[in-house]
């Protein structure tokens, strides 16, 4: 077997096996010969296989024979297909792309990835939920992981962040407890991918440091509409270190170009049933259609003087620095433009480690970050089976790398030649380089060995209140409803009360509303705060989703119900208006084969109505013919389609013959509001799409949720 030269830019090479040349991607054979012929099936040893349908037997009805090495190898390999899933963030989805710096930070850091503008650095970015198993649903109420591996010319830098800027706990010591509490309960083995159970709220209510993060996970940040419409945060304070060895603190942010957007909770519950892969499908579809998601990298830079004067400890991961205090400087962009060739080889095997930093980027003493620096390397070794997981293509640096690490399971890069140590007399192998090499920030250290936390860590409520006060009233209602929903799933009344006791330190109105929603007989005493909360922290608009939405409907999706006899002209106008905005349209029909519109053409549908509830769309349009509407009147899923779109405050466009569909969905003429828009002429379509830019008609929501 001889490997020929790399023939394609995307790392595909042609490999000659015997008389066949097979294309090979970075992760393995693509099972196509270069000439397009079907290659011969072989064993792992390359032995051609004559029969892949029948085991070797003693006669057609006889016993199976041990001699069947092809069968044994095939089943043996199958038996070993699974590796342990990640202990947290098991369910994830990733894509390739690039990062390009637009504004150099060379005065603050020697890192070339943050110093050289205009260079496209390859990245691999994995989004994830935290608590659920690998096979759980995408719309769990949960934090989302936002992990980026930068393959820089100075080595790999992993920025392993979340879509929320703070965390549940302050010290890595508590991580196993926190994760045990949120995961399924150990005796029953459920609930899956949910924090709505006693163990989680028991732990949370006994750990006041969680309160700020609880506000975030009860907010709509925990049910994003798409990975594409989420922010990302490095969470901890990191360091940038310049050529003089001077350190500047930095917090990292990712800002989505398409604005923020979430779904509502009832919608999330239904999406999980209708399409558990909603987020991964969304990312895949966007990239495959050429609508590449993009984020700006932002940095908050600050010095010791700011850190010393700030109301909170910058080493405390349960606190953020409001953007009004330290503005986010946008310094580059990340574009995800290529899906994986193979989910397992790339998305599953990618191993992020917070300890992966490059010269010019360093750590602070945040006790959570310090703990993470141990945990990630350790967990990858177990998950991927040994210390050579860095040899897997998705984890290997794309810059040259040389060291004398050797052997172990699956070693691929053992050094050639005699020398496997340094210094050596053989003139072989790499040597250290004090000029280019990584230097840790020379922070002066002193102090007693102690198990304590910084004094300011003890303020658990002030920023929780600041977050709440920064929300629109719609968002505040969602937070209140989320607390009520989750605590209603707790079976132990004392736990419900204990949470409300904390909320009294955040906001009395919220505490009262949650207590009423749970029907607590009495408002519990406020929990005694470990440190007196600060009053009067100003609201920060950047903390709200609705104040940071998109200014266009681009990248969003409209579900259009069509039937035989749908007005071809109206539909064409709608498709054109959506296209001009950069929005996507999916046709939903009684049969997926499609419908004949008034111009006699057969239009294929994307979905059959029974499989396409309105929760899968950002806005909906009803364009049936009169006969079609009559037919759909007998279809329960068509009724739910309308009723849900209404309840979820979506914009609903309807054609001349759709009145009966609206009525079936429970929308009377008295219910018609400005979010329900008549589309009787082709000229109405542009204005409809413009209305959709608001994403939801929130004013309706209060009418549809009385309990
Ligand atoms: Fe993680 N975390 N984490 N975490 N985390 C893991 O590493 C851990 C924390 C985050 O897409 C694990 O490879 C500890 C904060 C993401 O593959 C593990 C602590 C933040 C991912 C681990 C934290 C994160 C992980 C499990 C507290 C946001 C998925 C599998 C000290 C800043 C990466 C793995 C991917 C994964 C440990 C807290 C983000 C066990 C000990 C804070 C995005 O090593």
Question: What pLDDT is attached to residue 37?
Answer: 86
Whether pTM > 0.90 for this model: the answer is: yes
For ligand 1, the distance from its centroid to the CA atom of residue 268, given in whole angstroms, is 24
Residue range 117-126, pLDDT digits in tens: 999 999 999 9
DSSP string for residues in 111-167: -GGGT-TT-EEEEEEEEEESSS-TTS-TT-SS-EEEEEEEEETTEEEEEEEESSSS-
Residue range 289-314, pLDDT digits in tens: 999 999 999 999 999 999 999 999 99
C-alpha to C-alpha distance for 287 and 8, rounded to whole angstroms: 21
Question: What pLDDT is attached to residue 497?
Answer: 98
Query: What does each C-alpha distance from 408 to 78, 484, 596 come to in angstroms?
Result: 23, 52, 64
Question: What pLDDT is attached to residue 707?
Answer: 82
Mean pLDDT over 485-508 rounds to: 98
Q: For domain 552-704, is the CATH number 3.40.190.10?
A: no
Mean pLDDT over 482-511 rounds to: 98
Task: Report whether 95 contacts 339 (CB < 8 A).
Answer: yes
pLDDT at 30 > cutoff 80: no
Q: 3-state class of 504 per DSSP?
A: helix
Mean pLDDT over 668-677 rounds to: 96
Pairing of strands 607-608, 676-678: unpaired
- DSSP conformational letter for 386: S
Residue 162 annotated to the active site: yes
Per-residue confidence at 23, pLDDT binned at 50, 70, 90?
low
Question: What pLDDT is attached to residue 13?
Answer: 46
Residue range 429-440, pLDDT digits in tens: 999 999 999 999
Per-residue confidence at 62, pLDDT binned at 50, 70, 90?
very high
Mean pLDDT over 88-99 rounds to: 98
CB burial of 522-559 (b: ≥16 within 10 Å; e: otherwise) equals: ebbebbebeeebeeebebbebbbbbeebbeebbbbbbb
DSSP string for residues in 17-79: ETTEEEEEETTEEEEEETTSPPPPPB-TT--B-S-SSS--BSSTTS-B-TT-HHHHHHHHHHH
Mean pLDDT over 370-374 rounds to: 98
Q: State the number of CA atoms in the 13 A half-sphere of 48 facing the CB.
A: 7
Count of C-beta atoms within a 10 Å radius of residue 393: 15
- Alpha helices, H only, 234-302: 265-274, 278-288
Residue range 148-168, pLDDT digits in tens: 999 999 999 999 999 999 999
Mean pLDDT over 507-531 rounds to: 97
For residue 175, say whether it is annotated as part of any ligand binding site: yes
Between 4-18, 76-90, 547-561, 688-702, the lowest mean confidence (pLDDT) is in 4-18
C-alpha to C-alpha distance for 174 and 170, rounded to whole angstroms: 8
Residue range 185-209, pLDDT digits in tens: 999 999 999 999 999 999 999 999 9
For ligand 1, the distance from its centroid to the CA atom of residue 281, given in whole angstroms, is 24
pLDDT at 1 > cutoff 50: no
128 lines ligand 1 (CB under 6 A): yes
C-alpha to C-alpha distance for 210 and 318, rounded to whole angstroms: 8
Residue range 538-551, pLDDT digits in tens: 999 999 999 999 99
Question: What pLDDT is attached to residue 494?
Answer: 98
Residue 379 CA: which ligand 1 atom is closest?
Answer: 44
pLDDT at 25 > cutoff 80: no
Specify the CATH number for 92-166+234-391; select among 1.10.530.10, 2.40.180.10, 1.10.1270.20, 2.40.30.20: 2.40.180.10
Mean pLDDT over 476-502 rounds to: 98
* ipTM reported for the complex, 2 dp: 0.97
Per-residue confidence at 7, pLDDT binned at 50, 70, 90?
very low
Question: What pLDDT is attached to residue 131?
Answer: 98
The domain locations on the chain are 1-50, 92-166+234-391, 552-704
89 lines ligand 1 (CB under 6 A): yes
Express as a percent the part of the chain with pLDDT over 70.
Answer: 95
175 lines ligand 1 (CB under 6 A): yes
Mean pLDDT over 273-282 rounds to: 98
Question: What pLDDT is attached to residue 20?
Answer: 55
Between 31-40, 343-352, 554-563, the lowest mean confidence (pLDDT) is in 31-40
92 lines ligand 1 (CB under 6 A): yes
pLDDT at 324 > cutoff 80: yes
For ligand 1, the distance from its centroid to the CA atom of residue 392, given in whole angstroms, is 20
For residue 372, say whether it is annotated as part of any ligand binding site: yes
Residue 212 annotated to the active site: no
Residue range 338-361, pLDDT digits in tens: 999 999 999 999 999 999 999 999
Mean pLDDT over 418-424 rounds to: 94
Between 33-47, 131-145, 630-644, the lowest mean confidence (pLDDT) is in 33-47
């Amino acid at each position: 077997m001889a490997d020929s030269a790399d023939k394609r830019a995307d790392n595909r090479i042609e490999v000659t096996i015997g008389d066949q040349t097979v294309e090979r991607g970075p992760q393995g054979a693509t099972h196509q010969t270069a000439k397009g012929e079907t290659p011969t099936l072989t064993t792992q040893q390359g032995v051609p296989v004559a029969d892949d349908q029948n085991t070797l037997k003693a006669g057609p009805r006889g016993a199976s024979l041990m001699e069947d090495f092809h069968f044994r190898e095939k089943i043996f390999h199958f038996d070993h297909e699974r590796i342990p899933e990640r202990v947290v963030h098991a369910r994830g989805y990733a894509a390739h792309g690039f990062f390009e710096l637009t504004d150099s930070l060379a005065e603050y850091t020697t890192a070339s990835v943050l110093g050289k503008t205009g260079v496209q650095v390859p990245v691999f970015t994995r989004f994830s939920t935290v608590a659920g198993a690998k096979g759980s649903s995408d719309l769990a109420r949960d934090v989302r992981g936002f992990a980026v591996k930068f393959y820089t010319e100075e080595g790999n830098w992993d920025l392993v962040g979340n879509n929320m800027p703070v965390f549940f706990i302050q010290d890595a010591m508590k991580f196993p407890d926190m994760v045990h509490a949120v995961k399924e309960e150990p005796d029953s083995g459920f609930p899956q991918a949910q924090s709505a159970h006693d163990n989680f709220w028991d732990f949370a209510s006994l750990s006041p440091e969680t309160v700020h993060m609880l506000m975030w996970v009860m907010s709509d940040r925990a049910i994003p509409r798409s990975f594409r419409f989420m922010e990302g945060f490095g969470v901890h304070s990191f360091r940038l270190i310049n050529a003089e060895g001077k350190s500047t603190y930095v917090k990292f942010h990712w800002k989505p170009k398409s604005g923020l957007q979430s779904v509502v909770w009832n919608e999330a519950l239904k999406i999980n049933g209708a399409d558990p892969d909603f987020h991964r499908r969304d990312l895949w579809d966007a990239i495959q259609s050429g609508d590449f998601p993009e984020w700006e990298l932002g940095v908050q830079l600050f010095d010791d003087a700011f850190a010393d004067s700030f109301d909170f400890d910058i080493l405390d991961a349960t606190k953020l620095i409001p953007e009004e205090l330290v503005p986010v400087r946008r310094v580059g962009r990340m574009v995800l433009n290529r899906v994986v060739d193979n989910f397992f080889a790339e998305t599953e095997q990618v191993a992020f480690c917070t300890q992966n930093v490059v010269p010019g980027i360093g750590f602070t003493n945040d006790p959570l970050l310090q703990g993470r620096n141990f945990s990630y390397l350790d967990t990858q070794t177990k998950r991927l089976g040994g210390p050579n997981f860095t040899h897997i293509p998705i984890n290997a640096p794309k810059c040259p790398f040389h060291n004398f690490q050797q052997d172990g399971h699956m070693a691929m890069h053992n050094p050639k030649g005699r020398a496997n140590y340094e210094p050596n007399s053989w003139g072989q192998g790499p040597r250290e380089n004090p000029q280019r090499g990584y230097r840790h920030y020379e922070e002066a250290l002193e102090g007693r060995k102690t198990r304590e936390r910084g004094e300011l860590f003890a303020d658990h409520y002030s920023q929780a209140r600041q977050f709440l006060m920064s929300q629109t009233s719609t968002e505040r209602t969602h937070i209140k409803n989320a607390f009520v929903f989750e605590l209603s799933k707790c079976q132990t009344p004392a736990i419900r009360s204990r949470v409300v006791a904390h909320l009294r330190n955040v906001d009395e109105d919220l505490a009262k509303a949650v207590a009423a929603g749970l029907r607590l007989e009495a408002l519990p005493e406020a929990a005694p705060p470990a440190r007196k909360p600060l009053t009067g922290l100003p609201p920060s608009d950047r903390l709200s989703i609705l104040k940071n939405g998109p200014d266009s409907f681009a990248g969003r999706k409209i579900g259009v119900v069509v039937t035989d006899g749908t007005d071809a002209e109206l539909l064409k106008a709608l498709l054109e208006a959506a296209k001009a905005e950069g929005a996507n349209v999916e046709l939903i029909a009684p049969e997926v084969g499609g419908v004949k519109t008034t111009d006699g053409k057969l239009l294929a549908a994307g979905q059959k109505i029974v499989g396409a509830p309105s929760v899968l769309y950002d806005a909906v349009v009803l364009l049936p013919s009169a006969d079609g509407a009559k037919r759909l009147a007998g279809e329960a899923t068509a009724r739910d389609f309308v009723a849900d779109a209404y309840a979820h405050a979506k914009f609903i466009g309807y054609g001349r013959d759709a009145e009966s569909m609206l009525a079936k969905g429970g929308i009377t003429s008295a219910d018609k509001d400005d979010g329900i828009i008549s589309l009787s002429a082709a000229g109405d379509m542009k204005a409809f799409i413009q209305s959709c830019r608001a994403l939801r008609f929130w004013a309706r929501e209060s009418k549809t949720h009385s309990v």
